[in-house]
Amino acid sequence: MEAHPSLLERIKAAFACVDTALDGLKGSLTRIAAVVLVVPSLATAGYQAYASLSGKPKTAAQADNQRLFVKYFNKQPLVTIPVTVKQERGAVQALFSVYDEGDVYVEYGQSTQWFPFPRPLAPPALPLALIGTAHAQAPAAPPAKLDAPRAAAQFQQSERMEDNYLLRTRRWDNGMVEDSRIDVRTGAIVEHRTRQEAPLKLEGEKSRVIGATQQPLQAIDLKRLRAARGKALEAEAGK
């Protein structure tokens, strides 16, 4: 006559099955986690290798360079402004070339970079709870405008880091204050606000050394420059 397992033995056997199942589940989860971590890394590395071999731009700055080099190929800038920067080791000239649509090409030392004419920063997003109310009660907000040129000649600047962002504040001597949030990895200004405060009181030469000095140039009027170039071409054709 066969002996039937006791209740305790059956409970032990059940727990052993559960342990075996849990061990298998842990192994599966470990393998899944490894795949989740490895696949994006492989994909990123693969894309970077492909971009390097195919010549595809890997950053926004590279994309701007590639697009604007093609756009202005064999075209002359409307104006080029040389700026000489001197220090103990010598002097280097930076060249700022402005093209038809306001795009700027900068040459400085062994580096060059295109800067497309900037679009206004989008206004801050409303909290989700207020979006419906805003649509129902408030008129549509006007498009964001670029800041007016700075009229002041001097500012004091302070900075602090927050995660991967540089928070910069500039206080101009006419009382205008600029707050900027800059992504230190890309250099992009992701947020920019201005406000008006009381003008700075800069007394004596010692206090004036603290702030940076801005040397403003005459505003570049693209419409006037295009018209002048058109007249010059007409005069040349008429000869």
Encode pLDDT of 132-179 as tens digits. Answer: 544 444 454 444 444 544 555 577 889 999 988 999 998 888 888 999
Rounded Cα distance between 97 and 93, Å, is: 13
**Per-residue pLDDT at 11:** 72
Label each residue of the chain as H, E or C: CCCCCCHHHHHHHHHHHHHHHHHHHHHHHHHHHHHHHHHHHHHHHHHHHHHHHHCCCCCHHHHHHHHHHHHCCCCCCCEEEEEEEEECCEEEEEEEEECCCCCEEEEECCEEEEECCCCCCCCCCCCHHHHHHHHHHCCCCCCCCCCCCCCCCEEEEEEEEECCEEEEEEEECCCEEEEEEEECCCCCEEEEEEEECCCCCCCHHHHHHHCEECCCCCCCCHHHHHHHHHHHHHHHHCC
Which of residues 50 and 75 earns the better pLDDT score?
75
- Shortest CA distance to 217 belongs to which of 100, 75, 80? 80
Instruction: Note whether 103 and 117 are within 8 A (CB).
Output: yes
Greater confidence, 204 or 73?
73
pLDDT at 117 over 60: yes
Smallest Cα–Cα separation from 146: which of 183, 87, 189? Answer: 189
pLDDT at 22: 65
**What is the structure's pLDDT at 104?**
96
According to the model, what pLDDT value does residue 128 have? 54
| Predicted confidence (pLDDT) at residue 32 exceeds the cutoff of 80 | no
pLDDT band at 233 (very low <50, low <70, confident <90, very high): confident
For the whole prediction, is pTM greater than 0.75?
no
pLDDT tens per residue, range 51-69: 444 568 888 888 999 999 9
- Inform me whether the pLDDT recorded for 120 exceeds 90: no
Comparing 50 with 103, the larger pLDDT belongs to 103
Mean residue pLDDT across the chain? 74
